[in-house]
Structure 1
Amino acid sequence: MKHSIAFASVLAVGLLAASAGQAADIASPMAPELKQTEREGWTFAVSPYFWAAGMSGDTGLFGLPTVHTDMDFADILDDLDFGAMAIGEARYDRYSIFADIMYSKISSGSGTPRGIVADHVDVSTETFAGLIGAGYAVLQDDRGHLDLVAGARVWHSSTNISFSGGILDGVSRSDSATWVDGLAGVRAKYSITDKVYFTGWGLVGGGGANVDWDVAGGIGYSFNDKVSAVVGYRALGVDYSSDGFVMDIVEQGPIFGVVMHF
């Protein structure tokens, strides 16, 4: 059952998500710097990223008692089948629209003692977190901006358990949950030099979940007007429970992203 939410870590990376993100992750995007062109108008940025997050917390499926999970990123990576995370942002003067998408698929299998109930058990988990939001810069100058933001994150997590051999040969069961959380907070960016800048965000909210929060901070470097990179640290937590499905976890770890501006 530990895999029922291992996402996220990558969802995670992840997964996000997840990052959101959504991961969800998760979560205002780590879109470092969106430089305005000489002409006035919209600017855009797209950033695939990698979140090496570990995970701790409680999970539960099928109405069974919750199980405490504590895994580092290496544990999650061993069972990761696929993970994808990306952020996009559009900005016009003080206004911005952004999205943060995280998806992961994790699977694992093992034999069972004596092989009476089953010879082998396979567990697979898919997790998606997608955040979309908008912001307004309450402070803005040539060196950076501070945005107030609000948005919504959609979560979906599903786990399938199947048995082969033994008494339960051919038996398969699935449990899943989908919910939406409203989030609000801040995003900020401040340039130290023409090349180096700080960026970060903090979001909190709820809705389907009792609480959904996402914080991050990082430092970025602009190679040119089109490409920049960011390295930082991100932590995301969600506490959801309904109809025997429990996902009360915190994911945290380093995050790396390459940002393409156009």
Structure 2
Amino acid sequence: MSAGSLKKIVGGSVLLALSSGAALAQDGGWTSTISMYVWFNETNVTADTPRGEVDADLSFSDALDNLDFAFMGVGEARNGPWGIIGDLFHFKLSADADTPVGVLFSRAEVRTEVTALSGYAIYRVYEEPGVSFDAGAGFRAYWLDLDTTLVGALAPTQTFSQDNNWVDPLLAVRLRMDFNERTFGTLFLDAGGTGESDSWQALATVGYRVNDNWALQGGYRHLESSWETDFGEASFEFSGPIIGATYRF
């Protein structure tokens, strides 16, 4: 998938989410929100190759320098105790790493392009004034291109490419608490996998209601995933502060 095609798909998805949210909001039983956020994440990518394991780490500043494109957004629709959540993000970045065989290769280069779409159906199992607890199930679908290049020294340069698409089933829980009329906190956890892959994430935020429609949020998000490849196993971790704005229809 080309970057241009992906941008068109992402843009269409955002427009669809906005129009769907507005349509649901017109039905008296539904409320909808859409959020855009920035994730100041540090990144770790590990990939097995026939020449050994390559481990690449990027700080947030390094990731900005090597970031080609990124998109992050969340939408939610709720009717009574039931809710539907969608979360989409896309990263395309590259990083240098130490070579697993220093005599043969001078360094390693890792290029990663990952799109992850998470969807959940949740149910409000507990609610009191100022406190609610949701539980549910869902999935996280990955589209990932991973190229690991060992830059030649004594040996010629070699590139090992992996194009992986898969879906992890997930269980999820969410706790929300109001601290006062304006401020609130949210804790969201999910985890799952298929045996050949696994994924989990934790998200903790504190929010401020600007008015009936707008809220600002900030916190911390950590996401990990690992999967089997033709050469062994690969994994990535995204971890760092997150800030965003939410609009309620």
What's 1:192 paired with? 179
Q: Deviations over 1:51-90 (max 9, x none)?
A: 11112352235x4422122321111111101100000000
Would the aligned equivalents of 1:64 and 1:244 in 2 still touch at CA under 8 Å? no
Would the aligned equivalents of 1:125 and 1:160 in 2 still touch at CA under 8 Å? yes
What's 1:76 paired with? 63
1:229 aligns with 2:216: yes
SS in structure 1 of the partner of residue 52 of structure 2: coil
Q: Which has the higher contact order (CA 8 A, sep 6+)?
A: 1
1:51 aligns with 2:6: no
| Deviation at residue 108 of structure 1 after TM alignment | 6.8
Question: CA 1:43–1:138 in structure 2 vs 1: closer, same or farther (change >3 Å)?
Answer: same
| Deviation at residue 209 of structure 1 after TM alignment | 4.5
Structure 1 residue runs of 5 or longer lacking an equivalent are 1-36, 110-120, 163-167
1:65 aligns with 2:47: no
| Deviation at residue 49 of structure 1 after TM alignment | 0.8
SS in structure 2 of the partner of residue 78 of structure 1: helix
What's 1:243 paired with? 230
Q: Find the aligned partners of 2:168 and 2:187 in 1 and give their Cα distance.
A: 21
Would the aligned equivalents of 1:133 and 1:149 in 2 still touch at CA under 8 Å? yes
Aligned length: 216
What's 2:145 paired with? 158
1 or 2, which has the higher strand percentage?
2
TM-score of the superposition, structure 2-length normalised? Answer: 0.75
Which residue type is aligned with residue 74 of structure 2?
I
Q: Find the aligned partners of 1:81 and 1:205 in 2 and give their Cα distance.
A: 29
SS in structure 2 of the partner of residue 76 of structure 1: helix
TM-score of the superposition, structure 1-length normalised? Answer: 0.72
CA RMSD of aligned residues (A): 3.2
Q: Find the aligned partners of 2:243 and 2:140 in 1 and give their Cα distance.
A: 21
Structure 1 segments (4+ residues) deviating >6 Å: none
SS in structure 2 of the partner of residue 252 of structure 1: strand
Q: Find the aligned partners of 1:141 and 1:44 in 2 and give their Cα distance.
A: 21
SS in structure 1 of the partner of residue 63 of structure 2: helix
- Identity, in percent, stands at 29
Question: CA 1:256–1:131 in structure 2 vs 1: closer, same or farther (change >3 Å)?
Answer: same
1:146 aligns with 2:133: yes
| Deviation at residue 203 of structure 1 after TM alignment | 0.8
